[in-house]
Amino acid sequence: DPSKGAKFQEKQTGTQVDPNEEYVMVTTAVNMPMYVNHDQATFKRWGEQMGVKTSILGTSEWDVQQQIQIIEQVIGTHPTGLLINGTDPSIARAIDKAVEAGIPTVVYDSDIPQSNRHAFLGTDWYEIGKLQGEALARLLNGKGKIAYMGIVGMTNMENGFRGLLDVLANYPDIEVVGKYNDEANVEKAAKITADLINAHPDLAALAGFDSNSGPGIALSIREAGKTGKIVVTTVDWEPEHLKLVKEGGINLLVGQKRELFVWYGAQFLFDMVHQTNRISGNDKSAGITNVPFAVNTGLFTITSENIANFLP
């Protein structure tokens, strides 16, 4: 029965926890280290601390259609709450189905504004691009040839690209030679970088937008003996990225505070279920969601100056 998922209506305010409460994270590309080491690790840690069950569902490929199907299928199994990775605007309908079924549903990472999700926590990819653009302009003193790469065609990435280009548009001496699709593949990123270095011996900088862009870019720059001569900015802060910053292969990393949006996202679900903060006598019938509507967890940058704090 659908009301089972809507326990939060009957539950008394307080922290009395039922160990059978199950919180489910539905994502995609489930094996991506960034997701495993930050999102999934945090989610599990949260579950253990709260004494509730956590499950993680998703395919290993980046497959939005499959994510939609998993959301639709998991609704029928009546989880206590759903924590959904906002991979693509088109998952909105599936989210709405979950909300309709009375399941507290929180979106993390990227927002799905068209949906009726209860809450969103995450960052704005446009900002990620802007931060990289500003750093590049600074490091290049406003002039030089730049190329950038990521997963071409993906909404997140395209937003990031836009942020980058909007900043660079202010610097007439910066020439953007192209946008490249590395398909989140190191070999591809390395190949593109090598070709770029040969086609443009005066290439000044590269910007990367997926986890694998940075390592691939750094590899080819190193092999061309141009480490330090070409400026590299990119995203994520896996051990590999940190090592490269330390060695000088990468100048700047833009990081998301993934731990924060997952932890608090899960906590939001919990708080909805347990009515931790009640606004009215009956929030449900008053049409009130008693957690924040949207939270921007913010970004941070890693450079050679603060790298020491991130290394073990």
Among 8, 23, 46, 62, contact with other proteins (rule: CB under 8 A): 62
By C-beta, is 145 or 275 nearer to other proteins?
A: 145
Closest to other proteins by CB, 131 vs 184, is 184
The only residue of 180, 209, 264, 268 in contact with other proteins, by rule CB under 8 A: 180
Q: How far is the CB of 201 from other proteins (least distance, A)?
A: 7
| Residue 98 sits in the site that holds other proteins (CB under 8 A) | no
Residue 152 tokens read as 């071409």
* Range in contact with other proteins (rule: CB under 8 A) among 7-15, 124-132, 134-142, 178-186: 178-186
Nearest to 130 by CA among 179, 158, 164: 164
Q: Verify binding: residue 13, other proteins, rule CB under 8 A.
A: no
Q: Segment 241-300, which members bind other proteins (CB under 8 A)?
A: 242-243
* Rounded Cα gap, residues 127 and 193, in angstroms: 24
What would the two tokens of residue 189 be? 């990123």
**Location of structure tokens 């030679």:** 177
By CB under 8 A, tell whether 110 contacts other proteins: no
Pick one of 216, 233, 270, 275: the residue that binds other proteins (CB under 8 A).
Answer: 216
Residue 34 Cα distances to 5, 58, 60, 79, 287, angstroms: 30, 15, 13, 25, 36
Taking the complex as a whole, the smallest distance from the CB of residue 245 to other proteins amounts, in Å, to 12
- Judged on CB neighbours under 10 Å (0-12, 13-18, 19+), 175 is middle
Write out the E strands in the chain.
22-26, 53-57, 81-85, 105-109, 119-122, 144-150, 174-181, 203-208, 231-235, 252-256, 294-296, 299-302
Work out whether 40 is an interface residue with other proteins (CB under 8 A). Answer: yes
CA 189 to chain centroid, in Å, comes to 20
Q: Please, which residue, 91 or 252, has the CB nearer to other proteins? A: 91
Least distance in Å: CB of 271 to other proteins?
Answer: 23
Based on the shown chain and the rule CB under 8 A, indicate whether residue 69 belongs to the binding site for other proteins.
yes
